[in-house]
Structure 1
């Protein structure tokens, strides 16, 4: 079965069939419970409410399948780590072949990620994981490999300093931490799964990293668009108990090159004309800002519809 038929079959298996005459756009996401799935669901809901765009959220097993879906024209949009998108277009890293049909649409928000542990562990920083177990493998979610490599580096550790416990994908990794199979789990700040685990184990905590120039060079050697950001406690940021430094990247909205310009422009109008409603529905999306959404990234081309949207709004591309 070729990749197009495989991805189409996956979408149909998820019950996403619609009448042949319906004009439906899909947003490819990781499984339910992930931050991107939640964000996409909020944005798609706003599109259905405030425009004539008919949008569905279509979960896949991981980033590679999401990017393949866009490249093959099976899905229209996706949220992703800009580093992964750059790798996908170039055919580098986890991608054995280039995916030339991916286009940037907009910078959405900064995306802090980390390793988190049970509160009862007593650990507070990544350096405390020396000799402890960390999820590895990630055959179903390979993007996590580079992210955890960077997080460990920012804590002064390498994979050789920890015990590696294979996990297949994001949701399973957190479940394995809750069950005690592994000491730590990887997730994005604000992820619904983190709140679920927090409730089930009596509290969780994200581990802090050391944000300095030396460690910045280390994480950017892993992925060039990584940076550090300080995250303050908030109700939606379960596991963040005081201002904490995190390895961070930019979340970007992507589209396939097959998506019509007007469709891209309409979708961007929905997002940036309804920032308050979207941010109320999911607080991490309060970072949406049209003034900072048109950011250039190495090796990643913008969709012509996005270029036209920002030019019409008087927004110049930033570095």
Structure 2
């Protein structure tokens, strides 16, 4: 069920000290203010300057002024968030931002070590993420959308507002008489997420008033299914080997082959096959009944090949 902003903060219990990702927008400003009030002296802020728009310097100044008033330490990291050809600008900025957060946390001094990082995505952001995943034809991992909690790099990450509607966050800020900055790109409907926010969410609100709760429930079911598929892939990989041996791999069902191969490529080679690439690879595995059968298929950023009695993967650019 959706929560009020106050209820979400009351239920939030991270390991301290805590860092809050602060963009200067309404959501992160509200989260920092509430956390600083709840844990005075135990909270700091991290602002990532992406350098992608003229307003970026204004965002930084707002964050500096806010943190000075709250007496919260602020770390500013400037990153190169330009996207590579074929890469989503939003994905590039997000990856740069997370890398900056991790760098700050891992470089903090032992006495002031950051144990947790809180991010301000809310229920509307979760719905947008789920709809984006549906629009791409994502599997259960994508349909799980954003987790409320995870651990990576020795840091505990939290999204305490995932059950709070975006309008409630802004209402809480107004009640606090706290201003924030508006990112001008948030209204640019050339970006798919902004079109969803401007056009689809109002329609969903009118047709299905409880859509935030029901969508969150579906994302939770997908997250559970994704966790089970991961467990199965790990167990199968122990039996099949890494790199996968052809004989035990071919003994699995086609669905389990697909699940194992996605996992192997992601974990061992940091690459993800498209649906078409994976289906072609599975077809080749089904046909691979003779010792001389050759496999050489483009997958992700490289190629899956047959190497004797097993599969392998390589990136020709790395080998040059």
TM-score normalised by the chain length of structure 1: 0.25
Task: Name whichever structure is richer in helix by fraction.
Answer: 2
TM-score normalised by the chain length of structure 2: 0.25
Task: Name whichever structure is richer in strand by fraction.
Answer: 1
- Which structure has more relative contact order (CA 8 Å, sep 6+)? It is 1
